[in-house]
Amino acid sequence: MLSTLLLLLPVISPTLTWIPAEDWESGNVTSSVGVLGECLCHVYLPDTTFPADRLQHMQEVSKDLIQEVQIQMNKINTHEEKLESYLGALKELLERVSMLGTSADDYVKLDFELLRVELREFESLVSQLKDSFNSSSPLFDSLYTEIRNMTLIVNQLESYDKSNLEVIRIEFVKLQKKLEECQKDQEFSKPDIGNCNNTGIMRLSKPIVGQLNSHLQTGYIYGGWGKDSKPVKGSESMYFYSGYSSTYTSQFYFYSDYKNLLLMKSSRYVGLQAGYRGVGNNYVIYGNSIYYQRESPFSMGKFNLSSGGYDSRVIPSATLDFSYSYSTYQNLDFAADEKGLWVMYASEESKGKIAVAKIDEKGFGIEKVWNTAAYKQMTGNAFMACGVMYATRAVDMNTEEIYYSFDTRNGEEKNLSIRFPKFQETYSSLDYNPTDQLLYMYNNGYYVSYYVKFNMA
C-alpha cells in the first residue's frame, strides 16, 4: 500500500529557490518515468540568493519613519494643548474686559495698558507657535480673532473715561520717546543739517514706529505724514497727517508738535474744496503750502495754508499710465530737499521711466527736467535728498532697498543696494525732510520714520 502511494506522488528535488514564473525557460522543467513506473518532475532553478540584507535595511528605515511620525504626532498634540490653553486664557481675559464695561468707575488707570500688554504677549506667543508649527490651523485663526475683538473692545471702553485715556496717551508718548532714543544709533545722533557735501546716502536706521494713524483706522492705508520742509517762523515743530481708505486726497490735520501728533490733538484741520481735491498720496508741505496731485484736471495742485488760495499747473508730458508698484494713482510725486522743490513723474516719451523736474517756487512752473533709468512701475517709491533722486523697491515682505540714484547736479547714475526693514509690507508715501534729515514713511496706516546717514565727502 505504501509503495502504491509513492507511485502516485511526484518527486521534486533538490531544494527550490523561487524566481518569477515569467523568468523560467522551457528547458528548466522536464518530466520522466522512473524505473518503478513512477512520474518524476525535474525543475532546475537559477542559483539566485534572496536579498535578505536589503529587506533588513527596509525594515530599519520603516522603523525610523514610524518613530519620526510618532515624534511629529507628539509635537502636534503638544501644540494643540498649548493652543487650547491660550484660547482658554483669552476667554478669561474677555470676561475681565466685559466686567470693566459694566461701569465706568470699575477700572483703574493702568487697566487698559495692562490689558494691551497681555494682548500683545498673547499675539507674540501665537506667532511663535505658528512659526514653530510651520502650518496653519483653525485654532490659530480663532486666537487671532479673539485678540482682534478684544483689542477693539478695549479701544471702545477707553472712550468711557477721558481722564484715563489722557493718562494712557501721555505714558505712551513717554515710552515712544524712550524707544526713539534706544533706536537712534550713535552714528545717527549728530546729523549735519543742511550740509550736502556728501557722496550719497550710506544707510538708514531701523524703523521708528510712531503709532497707528490719528483716525485709529487700520483700513486707512493710503496717506502721508511729516513736517514742513521749509517751515515759516513759528511752525518749525508742526506735523501734518492725511489718510483715508482710498487714494483720494481731501483732508489734512495739523499738530503743533510730535507729542500732540501721537496724542491725536490736532490744532488745525484743512479740507480741500470740491473741484480742487486730489488723488495720490505723494504730497509734501513746503513753505506753508501743500503741493499735491490734483485730480481734475490732472495737474500739479497747490494750496496756500496762509492765504487759502489754490493754484495748479499742467505738465503736458506727464501721464496717468504709470504709477508706483504699491498702489495706483501715484503719478505725480512731490519732494523737497536742501536744493528746493521737485516733482517726479513718468511719460510716454520716457517709456515709463521716472523724470525728475525742478519746480520754480514763485512761478509754480517747471525749470528743468532730467530723465532717469528707473522704471516707475518697478519702483516702490522715490524721494529727493541733496538734489539726488533715490528709488526704492521691495526685496521681500519685510525688507526694502534703495536700488538706484540719479544726481541732478552732474547726471551721475548709480545702482545701489541699501537695504532697510519695513514695519508693514506696503506703503503709500516716502519723503525725505531736510530740516531733520529724517525719511518719513506712511507704512500701511502707521507713522514710520528713519534716520538717514550720508557718506560725507
Whether 226 and 448 have beta carbons less than 8 Å apart is answered as: no
Whether 357 and 344 have beta carbons less than 8 Å apart is answered as: yes
Residue 169 has pLDDT above 80, yes or no: no
pLDDT category at 103 given cuts 50, 70, 90 is very low
Q: Check residue 39 and give its pLDDT.
A: 73
Question: Residue ranges of the alpha helices (H) in 310-416?
Answer: none
3 state SS for 43-73:
ECCCCCCCCHHHHHHHHHHHHHHHHHHHHHH
Question: How many Å apart are CA 164 and CA 158, to the nearest integer?
Answer: 7
Asked if the bond preceding 20 is cis, omega within 30° of 0, the reply is no
Q: Check residue 23 and give its pLDDT.
A: 47
- Residues 154-159 have a mean pLDDT of 60
The helices-and-strands tally (H runs, E runs) of the chain is: 6, 25
pTM summary value: 0.64
Residue with cell 522536464: 30
Whether 289 and 304 have beta carbons less than 8 Å apart is answered as: yes
Q: How many CB atoms lie within 10 A of CB 410?
A: 7
The percent of residues above 90 in pLDDT, for the chain, comes to 53
Vertex 164, ends 423 and 269: CA angle to 5°?
60
- Mean of all residue pLDDT scores within the chain: 79
Residue 294 has pLDDT above 60, yes or no: yes
Q: What is the CATH T-level fold of the domain 198-456, as seen in this structure?
A: Neuraminidase (2.120.10)
C-alpha cell at 56: 533588513
- Residues 12-36 have a mean pLDDT of 53
Residue 99 has pLDDT above 70, yes or no: no
1-20 confidence digits (pLDDT tens): 433 333 333 444 444 444 45
- Residues 302-322 have a mean pLDDT of 96
Q: Check residue 118 and give its pLDDT.
A: 62
Give start-end residues of each CATH 2.120.10 domain in the chain: 198-456
The percent of residues above 70 in pLDDT, for the chain, comes to 60
Residue 269 has pLDDT above 80, yes or no: yes
C-alpha cell at 7: 507511485
Sign of the torsion formed by the C-alpha atoms of 254, 258, 262 and 263:
negative
Higher pLDDT, 213 or 87: 213
Residue 219 has pLDDT above 70, yes or no: yes
Q: Check residue 104 and give its pLDDT.
A: 44
Residue 245 has pLDDT above 70, yes or no: yes
396-436 confidence digits (pLDDT tens): 999 999 999 999 999 999 999 999 999 999 999 999 999 99
- Residues 74-102 have a mean pLDDT of 60
Q: Check residue 83 and give its pLDDT.
A: 62
Higher pLDDT, 320 or 105: 320
From the list 382, 438, 417, 431, the residue with the least C-alpha distance to 202 is 417
231-242 confidence digits (pLDDT tens): 999 999 999 999
Which residues 6+ apart lie within 8 Å of 374 measured at CB? Answer: 353, 354, 382, 389, 391, 404, 406
Least confident of 37-46, 55-64, 145-154, 169-178: 169-178
Higher pLDDT, 85 or 434: 434
Which residues 6+ apart lie within 8 Å of 220 measured at CB? Answer: 213, 243, 244, 245, 445
